[in-house]
C-alpha cells in the first residue's frame, strides 16, 4: 500500500490533540495500588526447552486482580553477576509461544522475561494466560472488551500485568533490577510505553511500530485491524462514541509518553497500515525523554524495521544498560 | 460462490458421524439444574418504542449463573386471551437491537420474546447483555471462548440462557405457555435447536440455515466465518484438537436434534458458505420429530430463504400453534 | 474503510458547484404533464400477508408512460379516521419484496405505501415491476440506461413513478392526503428527494444516506458501486463525458433540494463508501426547507444510522404529521 | 485458479443432460419468420478508418423486431472476385468498437463483418446498438433480461440479429455467400454456435471458449460472471427456478450443437473460470458435424488459446473456405 | 478506483523534482558506444503469418552487449517507395507475441517493427528474447534487476536495445529512415520516450500512459504493480534507498523528456492506478518538443484511451510522417 | 481456507506418478562434477552480530559455476569438541537475512550454516547472493528461469549450491563432518530434500512443509504462489507444456526422495494452500529412508507446525546426531 498518511515533513511536526483526563495519574495510581494489594507470588519453574545455551523458566506471577499471568524467563546458561534484563511484550493476538521464539535478547546476554498477554494467544502464537474477566457486549477481539468505562477496559488489566511483569523480573536473583529495558512490537510496543510510564525505574524503552497511540486519529484513518475493531463497535453502538473516547484517553500512548523520562529508541514505518505513522510520531513527539531516537522506515508496512531495527537496538541498548 | 458441498442427492442421504458423549444428557441436566438454582427473576419494564400497534417490554431475567440477560417482549396491543408465543434468538455477532427489528411475529399476532445473546451485539446489531465470564486464551469472537472444556464453553451459558428465555416468556400472563415456538436464523437457529431439545414443552421449532451443527465437518469445509474461528484456534493450539472436539460434541446440533420431537420447519441454502448445507442436512436427518419439513433454497448463500421462508413459516406455524 | 472524504468541518460548509440546467423546471413540468396524461388507474387488491395486525393491498398504478407500477399499501387493521401516510422508496437493486419487509411505519400507525422500482428487484429483494423501455448501449445496472439524453434517462421514469405513487396513496380513502411523508434509504432517499421537490404537497421528507446527489463529485471519488457504473460507462464512451453530465444535471439531488420547502430529516454516514458524505452534505446544504435536520453517524459506512435513525424518525415524524 | 472442473478424461466423455424442449425447432422457425418479416434493409456507409489496406463500411441492418443493428464490414482494399467472409460476434459486455479492433480476418484476406451486440457495449469496448426492448425485473447485465419466457428472453433477439448479420454479409456484392464462416470468443462463440445452427448455409464454425452452453451445470459451478448473474437472480426470485431453466433450454448451446453439420474448430481452456470446460465439452460432444476439432489449452483461464488459437484458425479456415 | 492523484488543475501545472545526474548524458553516450561496438547484424527471416495483406519478417539484431534481440517487421504487401515506419515497444511482462497482434500500423500503411523485450514475455504475451545477464538479489519481476547500479540496471539493456531496434528498422530497404516514429503503451511508452531521447533522428513520439516516469513520486503513491516492486525491494533492503534512487535517476522519463525535440502525442488516464497521472504530466511538462499534445482520459484506469487514442494517433501521425 | 486436497486417508496412501528421467542420476552426477571442478574456496569472515552467546562468520563459498554464494556460520561461543551441524536453507523469496534470524539451532548447541539463495532475498528477508546467470523469457519469480531445459533451470544452480554449502560446513574445523543434518521450510525443505539425495553423507533430513514436490499435481491444484508461476508461464507459452514438465522431472522432490536413506522428519499441513498436502505425502511416501516420520498438522495452512514442529525437531535430532 502506498503512502496514505501525512507527508514526512508534517509527520515530524505532528502533535496530537489527545489530552489525558484530569485524573489520569490518580486513576493509574489507584489501579496499581489495587494490583499490588495482591502478593506478586512470582514462581519460576524450570522448563525443558531443548536449548543448551540458555536456561528457561516457566513463570507465573499475580497480575491485575491477582490473576495468574504466565511468562518465560530466559537466562544465558553461562552467567556470573546479576544481568541487565529485557522485558518483552507481545503483539496483538499472540501469546508467549515457546522459548525458542524469543532468543534475540538472551543470545545478546540479557536476562529476558517475556510476558504472556491475558486472553490473547490464539491467532498467531500460543498463549497460556486466561483473562478471567468478562465484558459487556463487545466486538470480536480485545479492543472493545469493557470499553464503556476505564475501570473495566481490557487494557487496564494488561498494563497492570505489564508493571507486575517488570516486578517479577526484578524479583529474580539473576537480574540486576536497576538495569531493565522494556520492548515489544506493535501492541507489545504500546504496552512497553505504558509500562515505562507506570514504572519510572525502567531505564530504557524500545517500542517498535507501537500500537495504542493517538486513538482519535487512528480510529479514523487506519485501514487494517485491530484499530477498526473500535470503529465497528461504534458503528453499532452509535450512542457511545463520546463514552468510548473518554475511556480511551486513559490508555493512549500519547498520554503515557509525556510521563516517560527513560531513554527511548522508537521505530516507525511510513507505509504502516496497522499503526499509522502519524500516531507513532504523536507518541514520539510527546515523549519527555531527553535521550530519544526515532528510526524511520520509508517503504515498510507494519513489519517495520525488522532485523535492521533489531541490530540498531542491540547497539543502542548495549550503550545504555 | 458456486456449489461446493455434496450433491443434492447425497445431501438428502447424509448422516453425520457425530455422536453425543455418554454423559450428554447428564451434563445438560446438571447444567440446567445449576441454572435453575437461581430465581428466574423475570422483570418486564414498559418500553417506549414509538410503535402504536404493539406494546413493548424491556425484559431482564436470570440466565446461566444467575447473570442478567436482556430481551424484548413485544405484544400486539389489541389482545384478549393468552397468546401463542414465538421465542426468537439472534444470529452471530448481533444483539437484540431495537423492537422495530422484530415486527414479523407480533404483526402476525404472536407474543414475541427476543433474547439478547450475552457478550455479542457489537458487529451488526446492538446487544445489551454482558457475558461476565472470562476465558482462557481464545480466538477473537465467541466460538472458542472456554472451548477447552464443556463446563466453560461459551455456548453452555448461551443455551442455558435460551431455556430460561422460554421460561421467562411462559411466566408472562399474556402468553399461553403451552403454545410456544422457537426460531432464529443461523446462530439463532442453532440456539433454537438446542432450546427445543432442552425444553421438551416447546411445540414448534423453526430454525433457518442453522449454525452449530456437525462441527467436525463444518470446521473442515466451511470457507467463511465463524466456523473457521475454530480452525484458526486449532492452527495455533495444535495440541488441543482432540480436546476441542470433545467439548464440541456436547454442543452439536446433530446431538440435540436426535432428542427433539417437536414439529420442525427447517431451511437450508445449497450455496451457503457460512453454514454448509451438509451440516444442516445432518441435523435435519437426525431430528426425532415425526412432523418435520426441510425447505431447500437452491441458489442462495447464507441469506437462505429470506422473506419466502418467512411466509412459509407464517402459514406453517398458524397450523401448529 | 476509514475516512476518505472531506473533514467534518469542511463537509458542513460544503456547497456543490452543480447547477440545474436553465430548463430544469420546464423539463420536469413537461415530464409530469405527459405522465399525468395517462389515468392513474390505481387498483388496490387485498393481499393475504399472514399478518393479523395490518391489512395489505397489492397496488398497481400507472407510472411514467402509463406503465403499470406495483406497490404495497399496508394499513393498520384497527383504524378510524384517515391516517397520515408514509410513501417509501427502495434502495438500489431491490424491489418491493413482501409486506413483512415494511412493518415499521404501519406498526407506528401510519398508512404505508411502498413503491416498487421498475426494472430493479433482482439483486437483494424481489421486484414485480417491469421497465418496458429499452436503452442504448448501457453498462450493467440501471445507472446508465438511456443516459445520453434527459428524455430517455432511466430516472426520468422512476422519479415520475414516484410522483404517481404519492398520488396513488392520496387516492385511497384511508389516507389523509394532506399528511404525507416520503422516505427511503440510499436510492430510496434519492427518489424521496426528487419526489418531495416534484410534489410540493409532501409535508415531510426523511431520506437516509441518500444516493443520486452531486454526480460530478460522486462519480470521481466513490469507491463502491453503483456510482462507478457511470465512471465505467465513461471509460468506454470516452467521447460522451460532457453529454452524460448534461443529462445528470436534470436528476441531481442538489438541484431538487433547492426546490424543497418540506420539513426534512436527513442522515449521513461519515465513512459511507457508496454515497460519499460530501454528496449528501451538498444536498442537505442546498435544501430550501426552514425546518431541516441532519444526523451525522461518525463511524458508519452505508448502513448509516440504522435503527437509531428509525427511532429518531419515529419521534420527528410524530411531531410533524 | 487451479483446476476445479472434471478431470480431462471425464471432460472428454462428458455429455450434458440438457435436452431441447419439444418445440425448440418450431420456436426458432417462428422467431426467424417474424424477424424476416421485416426487410433486411442492409445499408453500407463508407467509414474513414484511417487504414489504407482495408475499406471499411459502417453497416446498419434490421435485426429482431426490425430494430436497427450496427456492424462493421471490413474488406481488403485490393480485391477482385467475391471473397469468402467471416462473420464475427463480440464477447459479453463489449460492442463492435472500432474497425482497427478487428484486423485479423481482413488481413488474412477475408471479408469481415463484425456484429454489434444490442444493448451491450459499455464495459470494455464501445457499442452503438440500442436494445429498444424493456424487461421485467432483471439482474444487472443481459443474462436475465426477459428470462421468464423464451419469447421475451434477451438472447432471442441477439441470436436473431446474428442470423440477420449473416444475411447482411451475404447481401454485399464483395462477398461470396456460399463461403461464410462464423466466429467469436466467449459470448461471441456462443452466438456463433446458435447462428450456425439457425443458418445451415454457414460453412464453418470457429467458437473460442464459447459461453451459453449447458446452463444447468454452468449456473451451479461457475465462479465468475456472467453465468452467476442467473444464480443471483434465482437467489432473489426463489419461486422462478423451474421457469428460468425452461426458458434457458431454448438457448442452450448444447441444443444448438446437435443441429450443426458445418465444419467446426472449437477451443476450450481447462482452467476457465468463466466458461467451465465441461460446459464446452458438452457442446462440442453434441456437435453433429463430422469435421470437428477441439483444441484444449491446459493452463489457461478464459483468455483461452489467444494468438495460438488464431494461428490454428487461420490455417484451418484456409483449408475449408 | 476513484481519483487518488492531484486535481486536474494541479496535474497540469505539476513539475517533478527529479533531476538528471550530472553525468547522465555521458552515461548514455558511453552505453550506446559500447552497444554499437557490436555489429548490428540485423537479420530478416520471412515468416509465414497466414496474413495475405502483409509481409512479415522474423527479425534478429544485436542489442546491448551484442545479445540477440527478436522483433517482427511487418510490411504492407503492396508497396512501392520506401515507407515511413513505426517502431513499437511492448508493455510490462509481455513479449512480441505474434504478428497478428500488431496490425494497426501496417494496416495504416506503415512499415512496423515490434521489438521484443528481453527476459519478459511470459505473463500475457509470448516473448522470444533471453536476457543473458544475471542480477544481484532482486524482487520478482524486472524492476529491480541490477538496480544497485546504473551500470547493471535492467533498463540500461532495454533502452539500448530500443535504440538498436530503430537502427534495425532503418537498415531495411523498405523503410525511409528519415520518417520514423516510436510508440508503445505503458512500459512500451516509457521505452519510446527513452528511445526518442537517445536517438534524435526519431521524428515522432507517441507514448500511451507511459511508465517509468518520476520514480520518486511513483514509488510512493502507486497502488498497483509494477512500480511497487521497487517499494517492496526497499522494504527488504532498507539500507539501499538512496542507492536505488541514484540508479533510477539515470532512467527516469522526466530526464529523457527534457532532451526530446521530436513531435509528441501523449496520453494520460486520470484514474490510472499503474502509471499515476502526475508521473505522466511530469514527463509531458518536461518535454522539450515544441509540437506536443497531451490527451487526457478522465475516467480511465490503465487501459487509457484505447481505440480512441489509436484513432487520434492515426490522424496525428499522418500529418507528421 | 478449508480442506481442498485429498482426504487424510487417501493422502496417506497417495503415490505420485512422477518418474525420474532415465538419465536423472547421470545428469546430477555430471552437474556436481562440473560444480566441484571449481575450488570450494570457503571463506569465513568474523561478523559482529552483537550476540554474546554465539560466534558468527560471514561465509562465502563457490557454488554452481564457481559463483560466490553467501552464508552465515553461527557457532555456540562456548564449545570444545567438533560439533554436530545443521545446514539450513531458506524459503522462497527470502535471503539469509541476519544471524539473529537463525538462533534456534545454535542455541540448541549445533553449529549452524545458513545458505543464502542466489538471486532471491528481496521479498521478505534480505539476500546477499547474486545469480549471475540470465534466462530466456521467464515469468516474474524464480520458478521459470531457464525452465526450457534442465541444463539451464534455476534450481540446477540452487541444488548444486546446497551440496556445496554442506561441503563448506564440513570444511570448518569446529564441525564434525559426520554429523550433519539439513533442514528448511517450504523451498528450504525442498532444497534440503535435494541436498540429502545428492550428498549421501547427510545423516538427518528435516524438511518442513516442503516445496518443489510432485510438480504435475502441484501445478494443477495449488491456489497460491509460487507453484502457479509455472501455470501462468504455460498459459503464455502454450506450446511448451511437455518441454517444461520434462525439465521439472529432474528437479522433483519425489524423484530425490526415492534416493534418500538418511533419517527423516517431515511435516505437512492439511490446509496448506502453497504446498498442497498431497505433494508432500507423495515425497514422504517415496522416501527410501527406513527411519522416517511425518507429522501432520490438521488445521494449518503453510505456516505448518511452527514452534511445535521445532520442539519435535529438537528432540528428534538430539537422538540422531
**For each of chain A's 321 residues, which pLDDT tens digit applies?**
789 999 999 999 999 999 999 999 999 999 999 999 999 999 999 999 999 999 999 999 999 999 999 999 999 999 989 999 999 999 999 999 999 999 999 999 999 999 999 999 999 999 999 999 999 999 999 999 999 999 999 999 999 999 999 999 999 999 999 999 999 999 999 999 999 999 999 999 999 999 999 999 999 999 999 999 999 999 999 999 999 999 999 999 999 999 999 999 999 999 999 999 999 999 999 999 999 999 999 999 999 999 999 999 999 999 999
Nearest to A18 by CA among A245, A254, A258: A254
Residue F311 to residue A98, Cβ atoms within 8 A: yes
Chain A hits for F98, CB-CB cut-off 8 Å, are 307, 310-311
Please give the average per-residue pLDDT across C160-168, as a whole number: 98
In chain B, what residues touch D220 (CB-CB under 8 Å)?
2-3
Chain F residues in contact with B231 by the CB 8 A cut-off are 2, 271, 299
CB F140 within 8 A of CB E93: yes
Just list the catalytic residues of F: 186, 272, 302
Size of interface A-F (CB pairs under 8 A): 84
Q: Does F104 touch chain A (CB under 8 A)?
A: yes
Sequence-distant (6+) residues with CB within 8 A of D217 are: D16, D276, D278, D279, D282
Percent of chain B's residues with pLDDT above 90: 99
Question: Between A2, A300, A308, which is nearest E220 by CB?
Answer: A2
pLDDT score at A284: 98
Q: What's the gap in Å between the CA of A312 and the closest CA on chain E?
A: 12
For the residues E136-164, what does the mean pLDDT come to? 98
- Whether D1 and chain E come into contact, CB under 8 Å, resolves to no
Catalytic pick among A116, A160, A272, A278: A272
Chains D and F touch (3+ CB pairs under 8 A): yes
Angle (CA) B249-F3-D9 rounded to 5° is: 135
List the single residue in B219, B232, B238 with the smallest CB-CB distance to F305. Answer: B238
Shortest distance between the Cα of E36 and any Cα of chain D, in A, equals 34
Q: Nearest chain D Cα to C124, which residue?
A: D236
Residue E1, pLDDT > 80, answer no
| Closest by Cβ to A100, choosing from F53, F109, F307 | F307
Map grid coordinates 520471412 to a residue. E46
Are the C-beta atoms of F122 and E138 separated by less than 8 Å? Answer: yes
- Which is catalytic among the residues A186, A263, A278, A289? A186
- Detail the residues of C annotated as belonging to a binding site: 92
Q: Which residue of E has its CA nearest to F154?
A: E134
Residue C205 has pLDDT above 80, yes or no: yes
CA distance F22 to F246: 11
| Local confidence band at E252 (pLDDT 50, 70, 90 cut-offs) | very high
E-chain residue closest to D55, CA distance: E107
Partner F contacted by B222 (CB < 8 A): yes
Q: Looking at residue D50, what is its pLDDT? A: 97
pLDDT score for E217: 97
In the set E25, E49, E176, E302, the catalytic residue is E302
Span C71-88, average pLDDT: 97
Q: Which residue has the cell 493509574?
A: A28
The yes/no answer on whether domain D8-318 falls in CATH 3.40.50.1820 is: yes
Task: Test C239 with E308 for CB contact under 8 angstroms.
Answer: yes
E186 catalytic per annotation: yes
Confidence (pLDDT) at D267 = 98
Q: In this complex, do A126 and B232 lie within 8 Å of one another by their Cβ atoms?
A: no
Taking the Cβ of residue D7 and every Cβ of chain C, the question of whether any pair is shorter than 8 Å is answered with no
Nearest CA in chain F to A315: F50
pLDDT given at position E188: 98
Cell of B132: 461476565
One-character DSSP codes across C123-146: SSS-----EEEEESS--SSSTTTT
Measured between alpha carbons, how far is B43 from B58 in angstroms, rounded to an integer?
8
Say yes or no: B81 contacts chain C, CB-CB below 8 A: no
Is pTM beyond 0.90 here?
yes
Which pLDDT value is given to residue A1? Answer: 75
The pLDDT, as a whole number, for residue D290 is 97
Q: E16, E142, E186, E267: which one is catalytic?
A: E186
Name all chains with 3 or more CB-CB pairs below 8 Å to chain E: A, C, D, F
Q: Does F123 touch chain E (CB under 8 A)?
A: yes
- How much is the pLDDT for C1? 75
Beta-carbon neighbour count of residue B78 at 10 Å? 14
The pLDDT tens digits for A166-218 are 999 999 999 999 999 999 999 999 999 999 999 999 999 999 999 999 999 99
Which residues from chain D sit within 8 angstroms of residue F241, using beta carbons?
A: 298-299
E52:D318 CB<8 A = no
F103 vs chain B: nearest CA distance in angstroms? 22
pLDDT (0 to 100) of residue D1: 75
Instruction: Report yes or no on chains B and D touching (3+ CB pairs under 8 A).
Output: yes
Is E278 a residue of the active site? no
Q: Do chains A and D touch (3 or more CB pairs under 8 A)?
A: no
CB contacts, 8 Å: D239 with chain B: 308
> From the CA of E118, how many Å to the nearest CA of chain F?
7
- The span from the CA of E295 to the CA of E297, in Å, is 7
Say if the Cβ atoms of A138 and B128 lie within 8 Å: no
Which C residues, 227 through 266, put their C-beta within 8 Å of a C-beta on chain E?
A: 228, 231-232, 234-235, 238-239, 241
Cβ C223–E1 below 8 Å, yes or no?
yes
Which chain A residues have a beta carbon less than 8 Å from that of C3? 220-221
Cβ contact E314–D51 (<8 Å): yes
Contacts of E139 in chain F (CB under 8 A): 122-123
One digit per residue, pLDDT tens: chain D, 321 residues?
789 999 999 999 999 999 999 999 999 999 999 999 999 999 999 999 999 999 999 999 999 999 999 999 999 999 989 999 999 999 999 999 999 999 999 999 999 999 999 999 999 999 999 999 999 999 999 999 999 999 999 999 999 999 999 999 999 999 999 999 999 999 999 999 999 999 999 999 999 999 999 999 999 999 999 999 999 999 999 999 999 999 999 999 999 999 999 999 999 999 999 999 999 999 999 999 999 999 999 999 999 999 999 999 999 999 999
Answer yes or no: do A3 and E220 touch at CB < 8 A.
Answer: yes
Q: What mean pLDDT, rounded, does chain B reach?
A: 98
> What is the C-alpha separation between B38 and B34, in angstroms, rounded?
8
Residue F143 burial (CB < 10 Å; 0-12/13-18/19+)? buried
Contact list in F for residue D301 (CB cut-off 8 A) is 235
Q: Average pLDDT per run of 10 along chain F, which is 321 residues long?
A: 93 97 98 98 98 98 98 96 97 98 98 98 98 98 98 98 98 98 98 98 98 98 97 98 98 98 98 98 98 98 98 98 92
**Chain B contact for D203 (CB, 8 A cutoff):** no
B151–A contact, CB cutoff 8 A: no
Cβ burial B143-154 (10 Å sphere, 16+ → b, else e): bbbbbbebebbb
> Which of the four pLDDT bands, split at 50, 70 and 90, describes residue C221?
very high
Q: Tell me, what's the pLDDT at B1?
A: 75
Split at pLDDT 50, 70, 90, the class of C38 is very high
Amino acid at each position: 500500500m502506498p503512502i496514505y498518511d501525512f507527508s514526512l515533513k508534517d509527520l515530524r511536526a505532528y502533535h496530537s490533540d489527545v489530552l489525558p483526563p484530569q485524573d489520569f495519574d490518580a486513576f493509574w495510581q489507584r489501579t496499581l495500588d489495587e494490583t499490588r494489594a495482591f502478593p506478586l507470588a512470582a514462581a519460576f519453574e524450570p522448563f525443558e526447552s531443548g536449548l543448551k545455551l540458555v536456561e528457561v523458566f516457566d513463570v507465573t506471577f499475580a497480575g491485575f486482580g491477582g490473576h495468574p499471568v504466565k511468562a518465560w524467563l530466559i537466562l544465558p546458561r553461562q552467567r556470573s553477576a546479576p544481568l541487565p534484563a529485557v522485558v518483552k511484550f507481545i503483539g496483538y493476538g499472540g501469546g508467549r509461544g515457546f522459548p525458542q521464539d524469543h532468543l534475540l535478547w538472551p543470545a545478546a546476554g540479557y536476562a529476558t522475561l517475556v510476558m504472556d498477554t491475558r486472553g490473547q494467544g490464539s491467532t498467531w502464537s500460543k498463549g497460556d494466560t486466561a483473562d478471567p474477566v468478562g465484558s459487556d457486549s463487545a466486538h470480536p477481539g480485545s479492543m472493545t472488551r469493557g470499553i464503556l468505562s476505564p475501570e473495566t477496559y481490557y487494557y487496564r488489566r494488561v498494563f497492570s500485568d505489564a508493571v507486575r511483569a517488570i516486578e517479577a523480573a526484578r524479583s529474580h536473583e539473576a537480574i540486576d533490577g536497576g538495569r531493565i529495558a522494556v520492548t515489544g512490537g506493535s501492541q507489545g510496543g504500546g504496552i512497553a510505553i505504558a509500562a515505562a510510564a507506570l514504572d519510572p525505574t525502567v531505564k530504557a524503552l524500545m517500542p517498535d511500530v507501537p500500537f495504542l497511540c493517538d486513538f482519535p486519529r487512528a480510529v479514523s484513518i487506519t485501514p487494517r485491524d485491530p484499530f477498526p475493531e473500535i470503529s465497528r463497535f461504534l458503528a453499532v453502538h452509535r450512542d457511545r462514541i463520546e463514552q468510548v473516547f473518554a475511556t480511551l484517553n486513559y490508555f493512549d500512548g500519547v498520554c503515557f509518553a509525556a510521563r516517560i523520562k527513560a531513554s527511548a529508541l522508537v521505530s516507525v514505518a511510513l507505509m504502516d497500515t496497522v499503526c499509522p505513522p502519524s500516531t507513532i510520531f504523536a507518541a514520539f513527539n510527546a515523549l519527555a525523554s531527553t535521550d530519544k531516537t526515532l528510526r524511520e522506515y520509508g517503504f515498510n508496512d507494519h513489519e517495520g524495521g525488522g532485523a535492521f531495527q533489531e541490530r540498531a537496538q542491540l547497539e543502542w541498548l548495549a550503550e545504555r544498560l
